Amino acid sequence: MEKIASFTVNHLALEPGVYVSRVDADPATGAVVTTFDLRLTAPNREPVMDTAAVHAIEHLGATYLRNSPEWRDRVVYFGPMGCRTGFYLILFGSHTSAEVAPLVRETFEFVRDFEGEIPGARPEECGNWHDADLVQAKWWARRYLEGTLEHIDEAHLVYPQD
């Protein structure tokens, strides 16, 4: 089998950032989607996020994105990477990392500043509703904002080249 594109990225050189992971077009319709790698930790060099933090960020991020007046109709998916080092954001259309970096920043500001009950965190709304930690989610959001998003540069918008 061929190695999938995301496994060809050198994770030992990857740092937190906002990266275009792939751009795909439906062969039948030509509809385009862009998948973004929202990397919160340096893989294999920094601790991964706890599942409860990931789950809370997933609920809060999806809620914010799907309510964004400018982007809501373009959001296909927001969810965690299995490795727990970041999230995928999939949007209709062809977009650059620089274009969506402000949206990502707004999303993580929403997570950082959120108070109250996590949306969708009730037993009738979620299959693992009790595994969500708002305190940890806010900590990770603040870390991503202060360490990356508030001063993002080209090196953190394009995958590293070997």
Report all structural domains of the chain as residue ranges with CATH numbers, in order of start: 5-156 (3.30.1360.80)
Residue 140's SS3 state is: helix
Neighbours of 131 (CB within 10 A): 15
Tens digit of each residue's pLDDT, the chain (162 residues): 988 878 888 888 999 999 999 999 999 999 999 999 999 999 999 999 999 999 999 999 999 999 999 999 999 999 999 999 999 999 999 999 999 999 999 999 999 999 999 999 999 999 999 999 999 999 999 999 999 999 999 999 999 986
Neighbours of 70 (CB within 10 A): 9
Residues 93 and 64: their CA atoms lie apart, in Å, by 19
